Amino acid sequence: MGLPELLAVLLVVAVCALLMVGYPVAFTLGGAALAIAVLGDAVGAMRFSLLGALPPRVFGVMTNEVLLAIPLFVLMGVMLERSRIAEDLLEAMGRLFGTLTGGLAISVTLVGVLLAAAKGVVGATVVTMGLITLPAMIRHGYNPRLAAGTVAATATLAQIMPPATVLVLLGDQLNIAYQAAQLAQGKFAPDQVSVSDLFAGAIVPALTLVALYLAFQIAVAVLRPAACPAIPPAADAIGGAALARRLIEVLVAPVGLIVVVLGSILGGLATPTEAAGVGAFGAILLTARKVAAKKSAPALGAAVAVIAVLVLRAFVDLRVGRAGGGVATTAAIALAVVLLGVAAYGTVAAVVAIGRAGVLAPVLATTTNVTAMIFAILIGATMFSLVFRGLGGDDMVQHALANLPGGTGGAILTVMIAMFLLGFVMDAFEIIFVVVPIVAPALLTMPGVDPIWLGVMMAVNLQTSYLHPPLGPTLFYLRGVAPPQIKTLDIYVGVIPFVLIQFALLAALWFWPGLASALPHALAGH
Amino acid sequence: MPSARLAAVAALIERLVATIGRSVMWCLLAMVALQVTVVLMRYVFGLGSIWLSEAIVYAHGTLFMSAAAWTLQQGAHVRVDVFYADASPRVRALIDLAGAVFLLLPFVIVLAWVSIPYVARSWAILERSPEASGLPLVFLLKTMIPAFAVLLCLQGIAQAIRALLVLAGRAPGEAGH
């Protein structure tokens, strides 16, 4: 090992040690890398002028069109959270299933799946779910361990349930690595792997997890009914048609929104960024209906107008400037323009209503802070990668991975274990920005490694690590919001069955890669 | 009293940084409006606009580059919590002071320094979009890089002052500042 490689190792060690201290990750990465660069220049291991490449890299981050989806998805999630849709959903689901043994746990899981799909940021989901659902389950005599395990496991679904923020960032980094790997192998028309592919790849494993969680809860209800008693019907119990109407009322909007967003991405109709924009738009209209119930007409009008335009487009070709359009086409185009004018007016009114309700500014502030946090880490990680590569660190990692015993399988297993351990202390974001660019090009040059499969493995692996006692971050979040009846030990013991389910899924993915790769390849096939 | 003067400097910086952050957060609404417009134009009318697509990129870049310093002020940049979460206010202040002086400030100062020639080259030719019908404002977008660095540098100074005041026993410790 030469001097540059030694410094590359020192950089990794220094970053790990400094991160533990607790200064914000983004600037720890940048500052530590700078210190090593100064040292490397002094001893002749690298040239400081290499840092001249930093501004164009940062500009590349700023103009990356895939990452535009991030603030839009975050906005959609924060907006839906403030509109208290989670509370409504849980209440309605509780009425539907609560009177069955184990029914409340099942309701919590189903609501969690919807929330996870809508929000995509784990910490936020755990806090919301914990605050709303834990007290309800405890009050009705649920076993604290079952209650805590259910909430923790369900909340981590936000990590892998499309359109998860983690999958967008992972898809972008994997694509860059995949291009590099193919170029290194002399393939000058490289294949792409897109965020949409990763979404498609993650759906089947994510839904499998949900099915396994539900199966476990049903098994508990059958074998130990005392752990999850049925709730006596409420005094204001509604039945039959009234319950169905209430359920449709609260379910249709969020489910419809998620189906439109995911469906348009998976169906190849829209890029994730476009779908995220539409999702955020829909969330704004939904929130306006909720927070300004008396003045919900504009939001409703805007939604109806947009849907009307889409219906019109399904019957008439509205493309402007096409030869051969008759008077009817012109009239239809004019009608569409008028409808979109109505939609624009309704949207502005909806935004004003949300603002008057005092919801808009906090939502925008939270979204802005989350976005700036993610991109600051990306900029810090850019600095880290620049120095690490300048010192030849990536070649070193590539050699090390290629020479591991066990070939491709051994290399992937090593990377997975390393990511799992890192997941105890680092956020998924940091691991994706720092670790994936270093290891993924090496793994993807190995024969037979499918980038989509690799991405889904990484995502599920990180999710498991997030949940694993004693250090999984989810457990800390949950401890922070859990009622006093739930002890830390209850949380640790309660998640064990769910962690075992996670490991079972990882094993299944390992032996049947088709679980992740079949759907995206089938969708790409036609 | 020097500590009062230092506190006033920190407060001034924080006001500036927060004002900028609270102004650029409206870029989010612009992004949604522009993105939905682009989708409808393409999907319904078969029209594309590079100008509009690039405007989304500009709004996005402006948003997170100008708001990063405000996010630091809000304590919203993610930290590894293993040690920091349970530390006393004095230890936290020490971490923040050392972090700002030895990690943040050197990094953003070097970033500002290396971005000057890069941005100057862009200004010299008033760089336009590589697309003929794109926005002719690439030089302004690139200017966000030194702006990001300068704002973070200012907020880092404010953070260091706040930490110093806590260590000197002149202010209550508070996470995130």
pLDDT at position A526, please?
A: 45
Q: What gap in Å lies between CA A442 and CA A292, rounded to an integer? A: 53
- Measured in angstroms, the CA of B160 and the nearest CA of chain A are apart by 12
Q: What is the mean pLDDT of residues B129-143?
A: 90
CB pairs A-B closer than 8 Å: 228
Out of B26, B78, B103, name the one closest to residue A364 (CB).
B26
Q: What is the mean pLDDT of residues A12-37?
A: 93
Q: Which residue of B has its CA nearest to A76?
A: B32
Where does the pLDDT of residue B166 fall: very low under 50, low under 70, confident under 90, or very high at 90 and above?
A: very high
Of the candidates A64, A16, A42, A88, the one whose C-alpha atom is nearest the C-alpha of residue A171 is A64
Name the least confident of A115-119, A401-405, A422-426.
A115-119
Query: For A78-91, what is each residue's pLDDT tens digit?
Result: 888 888 777 788 87
Q: How big is chain B by its Cα radius of gyration, in Å?
A: 20
DSSP string, A317-383: ---TT-TT--HHHHHHHHHHHHHHHHHHHHHHHHHHHHHHTT-HHHHHHHHHHHHHHHHHHHHHHHH
A376–B95 CB contact, under 8 Å: no
Above 80 in pLDDT, residue A323? Answer: no
Task: Give A-chain residues touching B96 at CB under 8 angstroms.
Answer: 23
A72–B35 CB contact, under 8 Å: yes
**A24 contacts B99 by C-beta, under 8 angstroms:** yes
pLDDT at position A486, please?
A: 85
Interface test with A, best of B78, B123, B154 (most A CBs within 10 A): B78
B103–A31 CB contact, under 8 Å: yes
pLDDT at position A361, please?
A: 95
Out of B83, B103, B118, name the one closest to residue A27 (CB).
B103
Burial category of A382 from C-beta neighbours within 10 Å (exposed 0-12, middle 13-18, buried 19 and up): buried
pLDDT at position A322, please?
A: 66
Task: Give A-chain residues touching B152 at CB under 8 angstroms.
Answer: 27
**A84 contacts A128 by C-beta, under 8 angstroms:** no
Residue owning tokens 């290194």:
A184
Task: Give A-chain residues touching B36 at CB under 8 angstroms.
Answer: 277-278, 281
Task: Give B-chain residues touching A477 at CB under 8 angstroms.
Answer: none
Out of A52, A58, A320, name the one closest to residue B45 (CB).
A320
Q: What gap in Å lies between CA A344 and CA A14, rounded to an integer? A: 53
Task: Give A-chain residues touching B82 at CB under 8 angstroms.
Answer: 20, 22, 425
Q: What percent of chain B has pLDDT over 90?
A: 76
Q: What gap in Å lies between CA A400 and CA A442, rounded to an integer? A: 10
Interface test with A, best of B17, B103, B110, B145 (most A CBs within 10 A): B103
DSSP string, A95-109: HHHTTSTTHHHHHHH
Predicted TM-score of the model (pTM): 0.91
Task: Give A-chain residues touching B47 at CB under 8 angstroms.
Answer: 319-320
pLDDT at position B176, please?
A: 43
Out of B22, B77, B92, name the one closest to residue A26 (CB).
B77
pLDDT at position B175, please?
A: 42
Q: What gap in Å lies between CA A34 and CA A44, rounded to an integer? A: 15
Q: Which residue of A has its CA nearest to B39?
A: A274
Query: For A37-57, what is each residue's pLDDT tens digit?
Result: 999 999 998 999 999 999 999
Above 90 in pLDDT, residue B162? Answer: yes
Where does the pLDDT of residue A280 fall: very low under 50, low under 70, confident under 90, or very high at 90 and above?
A: very high
Query: For A166-176, what is each residue's pLDDT tens digit?
Result: 899 999 999 99
Asked casually if ipTM beats, i.e. exceeds, 0.90, the reply is yes
Task: Give B-chain residues touching A425 at CB under 8 angstroms.
Answer: 80, 82
Above 80 in pLDDT, residue A293? Answer: no
- The token duo for B85 is 């979460």
- The token duo for A51 is 């840092």
Where does the pLDDT of residue A237 fall: very low under 50, low under 70, confident under 90, or very high at 90 and above?
A: low
Above 70 in pLDDT, residue A325? Answer: no
Within a 10 A sphere around the Cβ of B172, how many other Cβ atoms? 8
pLDDT at position A424, please?
A: 82
Q: What is the mean pLDDT of residues B3-20?
A: 95
Query: For B21-41, what is each residue's pLDDT tens digit?
Result: 999 999 999 999 999 999 999
A340–B40 CB contact, under 8 Å: yes
A320–B21 CB contact, under 8 Å: no
**B66 contacts B147 by C-beta, under 8 angstroms:** yes
Task: Give A-chain residues touching B56 at CB under 8 angstroms.
Answer: 68
Query: For B69-120, what is each residue's pLDDT tens digit?
Result: 999 999 988 888 778 878 899 999 999 999 999 999 999 999 999 999 999 9
Phi, psi of A166 (to 5 degrees): -60, -40
Residues in Cβ contact with A132 at an 8 Å cutoff, skipping those fewer than 6 apart: A86, A87, A90
In 3-state terms, what secondary structure has residue B117?
helix
A58–B64 CB contact, under 8 Å: no
End-to-end CA distance of chain A: 49
Residues in Cβ contact with A266 at an 8 Å cutoff, skipping those fewer than 6 apart: A196, A199, A200, A203, A523
Q: What is the mean pLDDT of chain B?
A: 92
Interface test with A, best of B37, B44, B141 (most A CBs within 10 A): B44
Name the least confident of A194-198, A384-388, A474-478.
A474-478
Of the candidates A303, A308, A294, A282, the one whose C-alpha atom is nearest the C-alpha of residue A345 is A303
Q: What is the mean pLDDT of residues B152-170?
A: 94
